A and B are shown apart, each in its own frame.
Chain A
Amino acid sequence: MAHLADKLADFFYEELPSVEMSEARRHLETCKECRFEVEQFERIHLTLRTAPDLDPPRRVVFAPPERRSWLSWFDWRSAAAASALAALVAGIVIGFSHVDYKRIVNEVHQADRAWLAVELNKRDEEIQRLRGELAYYENFQRTVMRETLENGSAIQLLAQRTISRR
């Protein structure tokens, strides 16, 4: 086999086909030049790897868009307007018939109250969620402050070492 040359990286990262990998290994047993190149390559790779991965300072926050129910298309004002309209229609109808308008208005009010209760419940849940997030960020802030102090100490230490080396 010829020298590894431009196949050095493929060999080092084991991306050569298995037959070529075997040939390259056999070649390295006898070729000092290629062995030296591989060692140099490995040395840089390992030096770089002395800087390990960092932990992200916080998690990626993802809130999927909510699917809107038909109820969510109305705010409370439109709901109230709808109730008033229903009461008006009921009143008109009463003019022409003997429908129990009080019962209809009560039913509309009950529906409104139920809807409001659902909305309030949703808001309570949102407040709870935001409190949780706030606690998380407060904790994160404390971690950052602690890390900043630690980093400050490290920089001081480095500065001292640098000065003492001089």
Chain B
Amino acid sequence: MTEDSKVIERVLDGDSEAFNLLIRQWERPIYNFIVRMIGDRNEAMDLSQDCFMKAYRELHTLKDHHRFSSWLYRIAHNACLSQIRKNHGKTWVELDPELSAAESRPENRLAVEKALGQLPPDQREAVILKVFQSLKFEEIAAIQDAPISTVKSRLYMGFEKLRAILG
């Protein structure tokens, strides 16, 4: 049994406080996934908060506790798509380099984030989940509710565009 699934058992048995352990484990990856998807740090923080609240409310519907992370990413995926639809037309640029991040040159960070923002959401998501979140193709397929072959195509197409943009 994975650590996550043990904690989920505790939460479902009535130990609601244990849900904080899942939050501590996943808040950073989920926040970073969302911020790269929508490009706004504040909105990303609010969406992360909403995702965890939704996950808590719907935890009893999760059938396979070993797939908690994929399920959580799926919640975040839906939140991002809904936000992207809401922000349709808004310029996607993260003008907020994290200067404290060691060895990160702000201009690189900006270039990467701007380039990601130019991809269609499904390709951007495939790239983010693979490159930054290091998920397996199978997991990404579950999150995107698409065949593995489609996920790979999105990744290849995304990489092609990024190659053209980033040089």
Contacts and interface: CB of A to CB of B under 8 A. Distances in A.
Interface residues of B, number: 50
B99 A54 contact: no
Nearest to A46: B131
A154 B45 contact: no
A29 interface: no
Interface in B57-83: none
A50 B112 contact: yes
Contact of B159 (A41, A59, A62, A150): A41
Interface in A52-74: 52-62, 64-65
Interface residues on A, range: 35 or more
A151 interface: yes
A53 to B, nearest CB: 5
Determine the main DSSP class of B at the interface with A. Answer: helix
A51 interface: yes
A57 B17 contact: no
Given A44-B159, A151-B99, A154-B99, A62 B127 contact: no
A54 B35 contact: yes
Nearest to B158: A44
A10 interface: yes
B106 A45 contact: no
Interface string A13-52: 1010000000000000000000000001101110111111
